[in-house]
Structure 1
């Protein structure tokens, strides 16, 4: 496994490497991530813009959309196991700063229902689900967000794995876990602009979970902290409706933190203030966009 770990490096794809078996005609590795040793591309699909659903926990999924690459690799069973492939990719992604959204290392860990949850996405044959692992991660580079799903599988004496990558435009305003910690330490609050909702609704858009996960990580890292989750709107429309909508949106964030990331509801209180606490004016599109936000405020009472 030592040599394979060294060989598997993100962002260092080297063209011209020879493999024991030929790749499918017209296929290629994605430049973001290198193949596992001795693998060859058995099947390949690239679409310019499509939705993609990935697994974020037992019974829980998340959707993104963008340019989708699906690459199904096969390899000799002597070259690596499901767990070995899973561990190599997880280590490589973590080393390069990717956020691990969900992972499970074998069929028992993942649950027997995993294949039913994800099979609609896959080039990999169903019988590879005899022993299955799963890894979903997010990586940002050059203004793009990459959602990476690696699924090693074994079945009927065959070993393989699928790498699916969805390229999407990164959010206009990005924040890191360090940025959240710094803002909360210095100001007692942080404004988040990547938590988005359908227009006039409290339904979270799929891209919102990148920042919601950062809130979850902060609360897990600081077990003694409690926070207010505060919903804000611009001043478009009826005041009372905006007040109610902002509270529903704050509650939706609390619900997501509780259900997807197991954050205790006792650590969070949702509040809606509608347009009553703007960060900018409401006379321009840019100003209204800045006012539509979710704030995390330390509850130090």
Structure 2
């Protein structure tokens, strides 16, 4: 299912949010990246020596073009509150990379990247440290040019993934640094407690499904629950599906993606297939029981790749066995 590309007008929209960035990025003496004002650290994961599959093209029938980069791998994430768009945040960081000699290898927005297939085909730090909204993310891959023929296999490479979910923008930076080279220095930002996980109507009865969809861009469907390995809907799902059908009836141009999720019991292949079947069951019920047009709903299965709780205990696994509705367009 396709959805219309967002029309992004930059102009004067960068405002004071990026005033510090603009000033420091233009100063030749400043090395590294200056993050947008207000960005707070969420996580840092490090691999002393490993291989990172750097995406260098969009998803197609043959998959995602990848280039294997070997070296020290540093994965860092941040979140930012405010009204800045995904492209505004990416643009600030992209300009700084270019000013420091990086070449842009590949860049895309969610639809051009391949939507769901691209997002779940690349490495993403797990939620809640990194949250990716399927209809609103941008990706960029860049590298430092080799200074000599001997360095062609040891180039410094980075990827940037920026997405907006609810009122927050999330930033993921993955760097692969050859031996004896330092990672990009960054501005110091203080860590804070992770933001609350996406709400459901049951967790906050004052907010209905429509309000949660508007605020977060996606919502866990209350009552759409499954036992491990099961794919049968129970009566407790009726209220959520009726509310979702009402939302679609009130917004005739809206299109949704129904995403199934599983716990971690079993293989990735089996769970991905199971989660897709769960999403398909929800779609079929919306179409056959509530009269929703089939073409307005796409389905996907994420398996256990996007947990919202720990899979190490029964309560966490139960929360992870869920179905979410994601707004693609309206």
TM over 0.5: no
* Structure number with higher strand proportion: 1
Q: Using CA pairs under 8 Å that are at least 6 residues apart, name the structure with larger relative contact order, 1 or 2.
A: 2
TM-score in terms of structure 2 length: 0.37
